[in-house]
Structure 1
Amino acid sequence: MTEEEAINLHRKIEAGVKAAVAQAIERHRRLGESISFMKDGKIVTLTAEEIPQIQVDEKL
């Protein structure tokens, strides 16, 4: 695999991971479920109402 192919593959993987995370977050929001994540070394929990609505591609 050339370096250019590796870079392109990395970009595709990164885009897929970002899309999957966005889809999971949006699913939580629609189902009224909270989400928790780490920010600055602390656990932050957002209620479904606090999760901003985002556009996701439902094809994943």
Structure 2
Amino acid sequence: MTEEEMQKLHNTIDVGVKAAIAAAIERHRQLGQSISVMKDGKVVTLTADKIAAIQNQHYSQNKI
């Protein structure tokens, strides 16, 4: 496999993993469930309303 093919495969995997994570987070938000994430080296639990705020901030900063 060439370097270019490897890079394309890596990019495809990254996109798939990020989409799966976003879908799981959104499902938790819709169900009103909390999630735990790492922030500054510590585990932080976010309630469903905090998840929405984080997602909105992320989308506005990255224009996804």
Paired-residue identity, %: 69
Unaligned runs of 5+ in 2: 57-64
Correspondence 1:33-44 to 2 at 5 A: 33-44=33-44
Unaligned runs of 5+ in 1: 55-60
More contact order relative to length (CA 8 Å, sep ≥ 6): 1
Q: TM-score, normalised by structure 2?
A: 0.79
Higher helix fraction: Structure 1 or Structure 2? Answer: 2
**Aligned residue pairs, count:** 55
Across the aligned residues of Structure 1 and Structure 2, the Cα RMSD in angstroms comes to 1.6
Q: After TM superposition, what 4+ stretches of structure 1 lie above 4 angstroms from structure 2?
A: none
